[in-house]
Chains A and B, each alone.
Chain A
Amino acid sequence: MKKIVLLNLMLCMCVCTYAQHLVPISQSGKWGYADEDGNVIIPAKYSAVGDFCKGYAWVNQGGKAKYAQCPEGGKWGIINKKGEIVCPIEYDWIDYLTGDIIAVNKGGVMSYTKYKDKPNHYIVSGGLWGYYDLANKVELVSPQYNQVSAFYKDGVAWVQKGGDLVFQIRVREEKNAKGKVENLERMFEVFGFYSILRQFERYKASGQWALINKKGELLTDFTFTTVGDFKSGYAWAYNNGYGVLNMSGKTIIPFQYENISECFDGNVFWVWQKDGKGDDDLIGLVNADNKLLTEFKYNRVTDFDDGVAWAKIGEKWAVVSDKGKELSDFIYDKHGKFTNGVAYVSKDNLYGYINSSGNLITNIEYIGAQSRFGLGCPFRFNRNDNDLSIGWVRAVDKKIVWLDSNGKIICESDKTIYGITDTIPNALWDY
């Protein structure tokens, strides 16, 4: 067996990816790449270049490149570490590398300008977007969409027609002592996958979205005015109501709700009943099989953490599981976020802690508690490789009562944070 492992290791040594670290260099106003010892690996012939990531880097030809990372105009393409062009330098903008697929724009105009009240933004406006496959060096989807998302790992992407939102790229100015801009640095590299769907949503972009696969085939019609990112294989979308699709484009929760949450672990969603009453809408829990797990009876809800969330009826809160089971009575005036399996609860201005089974681990008799159990505490108990969180409550006599996540009292003390000149109580040391 050892021989096999050794053989495998040796094989790996022979075929492993070369991870040469190349850094941009400038020569006579052009940009290329050198290795860490300064040896030129890719000659300086581009107007601007980006950093390598996953073996690819963007290059710009013809742009005004006062700063290496932030050219204006010109055409964009992608090279590999051998300097080979893997995406032709013919696009007006490129972005969103996922795997080997990158979004490409033709016809867009890009400039460094101020956008509304925000300084230091590049603006890419207009043009059409498609996708390019860097591994096979083919245009996967010709530029034809007004906006696109990155491809999700399971091979689908959102594309939009009819939108008018300009695309923003933030840059940071580096100024000298006299306030003159010496360099511009792009805050988000081309290869820094970051969803901008929320940005589209925020700026209320017009147009309608559809889902496509890697073959460029439409999996849905262009019927959604707002869409969300895929999480656990599901994404919400809006079509005269909020609903949920899977990665095949199939509707799994009909578009009938006033609002909807992200998909939580356990594949459940909070949904707001659509009755047109605005803030009085009632909330229920539904799963990915479109099975309603609770009645529409909650006025407010929280995110799920470790399978439990808080729900409110009237003025009182209770713990609800992701199976839709109410784990406590609706008796609490306030609550904390579950942290380390514990959350504070409050009744009549007194505090205690409850666990994620809905059981109190302390009496509700303290005048204060941590907003998140154990968070910010300087202590982390560990015995025999078992971590044990500790937190505190403040007793009526103002003393700090330290306790573990089972509610066992460790000791009392006068303070929650200790200084360098303090003697820390013996009980707060694990050895």
Chain B
Amino acid sequence: MRRIFTIILSILLPMMAICQQSDKYMRSSLYSILLSHPEQKMDKEITSAFMKLKTPDKFNNHDLSVKYITTTKAKGDDLEQMISSFLYVNQVPKRMISKWFNRDENGAFDIDLLKERGLYGTSWQDNQISKFTIRGKAELADAGEQLIGNTFLVVNNVRYIDKEKNAQIAKIILSAIASFIPGVGGAVGDLIKNVVDLASQIANLIAGFTVKITTYLYQIEWNDEVANTFYNQYYADKKHITPEMKATFESDTTLFRIKYIGRFTSTSSKTVARGIQEPSDVFRKVLARAIDRNIVDLQRKYDVFKVKVPVLAVKGDRLTAPIGMKEGITATSKYEVLERVLSKDGKTQYQQVGVVRPIKDLIWDNRYMSVEEEADGAELGYTTFEKVSETKEFYAGMLLREASFSGSVVDESEDD
């Protein structure tokens, strides 16, 4: 096993020298699942839209192949227990760990993904790396803690709000979509006959499509016990894997766990029609923005889920970072500026070196489809912040993390 450990270290070493880049920084990893309700109206449209959504770009995509499951249970604590049971029965935590180590059909692992996602900062200089073999174990533990330990699962329970006034609209929507079949299929004249009033369909959709989303948040448990057992008993590369090792890993149903952090519920906001070209855009836009909002509010509720983003540039009292309204920035937001440092035992720590706030005229609107909507601020590409306080001069590559949120976070979970 020591040999394997050495191999892992030898592969890990080069990655420590990689400098932080603006678009490449150590992100948390995220797997998202949808709970579908086949008995409810609009469920097909919701699942179809969800399947087309991409992982938010402040997270690494850690999706497994299963993207939605059905339930007839609508809400409440029972549902949380059912989700936990599903995760256990289907060994989801173990599969998420397997994805980290790119487990193949023979049971062999590699650490390519760790290397790819584990971009350590500029503070990891060569002279520190030369000491790596001495502190190797701590460094490896740090990589696990920073990367694997920040792997999350969100389960989105999406319910279409079938208010009385929307019932009729839903009918219109469904019939309109059914009739919106590409036009060339028929014989002569079909092109004209099949022309439908697309604008009217979209208008009805925007008026009628509202969803309530409860997002359940889970985090992979990765600690010394799990790491030691995994590296010493299960980890083997292509050359060293044996059927026995494969079988032993597969039979372990207890080592890998995922813990429930909490949940957040909200209702989708009003949608703007600009930029919407077809009915399916409406579903995606409403769903994506509502899910993004829940993720932001979960971060405000649970510090462990907060993302850190790098500072792009600093000039005087101003700095820029690639976050915006999608990450919940408003004119009253405040962000901590963090510097990454290494502790004596080689572990990464973040020290607050200042506080900044966004300049209200320079907030990037990076919400889903904001470019198509031609929303104000969609073209900025980053948000500009101004200094509130500092204990050390800011520089590009430092990290921003939202400070304690002082606004109101309306969690509708109580309605569940």
Q: Which residues of A are in contact with B by a Cβ distance under 8 Å?
A: 6, 9-10, 13, 16-21, 35-37, 52-55, 170, 172, 175, 187-189, 191-194, 196, 198-199, 201-202, 258-262, 270, 272, 278-279, 281, 299-303, 375-376, 378-384, 417-424, 428-431
Contact B188 A279 (CB under 8 A): yes
Given contacts A20-B376, A279-B189, A376-B47, contact A420 B35 (CB under 8 A): yes
B48 at the interface (CB under 8 A from A): yes
Among candidates B83, B187, B274, residue contacting A299 with C-beta atoms closer than 8 Å:
B187
Contact A37 B331 (CB under 8 A): yes
- CA distance in complex: A191, B376 (Å): 12
- CA distance in complex: A378, B36 (Å): 10
A-B contact pairs, 15 of them (CB 8 A): A10-B315, A16-B380, A16-B384, A18-B361, A53-B376, A187-B202, A279-B187, A279-B189, A375-B48, A378-B36, A378-B66, A380-B51, A419-B71, A420-B35, A423-B89
A residues within 8 A CB of B330? Answer: 36
A residues within 8 A CB of B183? Answer: 261-262, 303
Binds A, one of B2-10, B94-102, B234-242: B94-102
Given contacts A417-B70, A431-B103, contact A53 B375 (CB under 8 A): yes
Contact B195 A428 (CB under 8 A): no
B residues within 8 A CB of A270? Answer: 184
Q: Of all chain B residues, which has the CB nearest A196?
A: B199
Contact A380 B63 (CB under 8 A): yes
Given contact pairs A187-B203, A196-B199, A261-B184, a sample of 7 additional A-B residue pairs in the complex whose CB atoms are under 8 Å apart: A188-B203, A193-B274, A258-B188, A259-B188, A270-B184, A303-B185, A383-B102
Shortest Cβ distance from residue A36 to the other chain B in the assembled complex, whole angstroms:
5
B230 at the interface (CB under 8 A from A): no
B residues within 8 A CB of A379? Answer: 65-67
A residues within 8 A CB of B35? Answer: 420
Q: Of all chain B residues, which has the CB nearest A303?
A: B182
Given contacts A20-B376, A384-B102, A419-B71, contact A199 B203 (CB under 8 A): no
4 nearest A-B pairs in the assembled complex, by CB-CB distance:
A19-B377, A187-B203, A9-B313, A430-B65
B318 at the interface (CB under 8 A from A): yes
A residues within 8 A CB of B69? Answer: 378, 418-420, 422, 424
Contact B360 A53 (CB under 8 A): no
B residues within 8 A CB of A259? Answer: 188-189, 191-192
Contact B313 A13 (CB under 8 A): yes
Q: Of all chain A residues, which has the CB nearest B169?
A: A172
Contact A170 B203 (CB under 8 A): yes
- CA distance in complex: A382, B273 (Å): 33
- CA distance in complex: A188, B277 (Å): 12
Contact A6 B313 (CB under 8 A): yes
Main secondary structure of the interface of B (DSSP, over half): mixed
A residues within 8 A CB of B318? Answer: 13
- CA distance in complex: A55, B380 (Å): 13
Given contacts A270-B184, A279-B188, A378-B69, contact A172 B315 (CB under 8 A): no
B residues within 8 A CB of A9? Answer: 312-313, 320
Shortest Cβ distance from residue A364 to the other chain B in the assembled complex, whole angstroms:
22
Shortest Cβ distance from residue A422 to the other chain B in the assembled complex, whole angstroms:
7
A residues within 8 A CB of B82? Answer: 420-421
Given contacts A172-B203, A191-B374, A418-B69, contact A18 B48 (CB under 8 A): no
Contact B396 A6 (CB under 8 A): yes
B residues within 8 A CB of A258? Answer: 188
B38 at the interface (CB under 8 A from A): yes
- CA distance in complex: A17, B364 (Å): 10
Q: Of all chain A residues, which has the CB nearest B79?
A: A420
Contact A201 B67 (CB under 8 A): no
Of A13, A19, A262, A279, which is in contact with the most chain B CB atoms at under 10 Å from its CB? A19
Among candidates B48, B71, B207, residue contacting A172 with C-beta atoms closer than 8 Å:
B207
Shortest Cβ distance from residue A174 to the other chain B in the assembled complex, whole angstroms:
9
B90 at the interface (CB under 8 A from A): yes
B residues within 8 A CB of A53? Answer: 274, 374-376
Q: Of all chain B residues, which has the CB nearest A385?
A: B61
Q: Of all chain B residues, which has the CB nearest A19?
A: B377
Given contacts A10-B313, A202-B197, A382-B63, contact A300 B185 (CB under 8 A): yes
Given contacts A417-B38, A418-B69, contact A431 B320 (CB under 8 A): no
Among candidates A175, A384, A420, A429, residue contacting B83 with C-beta atoms closer than 8 Å:
A420
Shortest Cβ distance from residue B93 to the other chain A in the assembled complex, whole angstroms:
11
Q: Of all chain A residues, which has the CB nearest B44?
A: A376
B26 at the interface (CB under 8 A from A): no
Contact B64 A13 (CB under 8 A): no
- CA distance in complex: A267, B35 (Å): 42
- CA distance in complex: A260, B191 (Å): 8
- CA distance in complex: A375, B187 (Å): 27
Shortest Cβ distance from residue B369 to the other chain A in the assembled complex, whole angstroms:
13
B119 at the interface (CB under 8 A from A): no
B412 at the interface (CB under 8 A from A): no
Among candidates B65, B71, B89, B103, residue contacting A382 with C-beta atoms closer than 8 Å:
B65
Q: Of all chain B residues, which has the CB nearest A186?
A: B273
Shortest Cβ distance from residue B234 to the other chain A in the assembled complex, whole angstroms:
14
B residues within 8 A CB of A52? Answer: 376
Given contacts A6-B396, A198-B198, A429-B90, contact A187 B188 (CB under 8 A): no
Among candidates B67, B189, B273, residue contacting A188 with C-beta atoms closer than 8 Å:
B273
Interface mask (B169-210 → A, CB under 8 Å = 1, otherwise 0): 000000000000011111111011001011110110011000
- CA distance in complex: A382, B68 (Å): 15
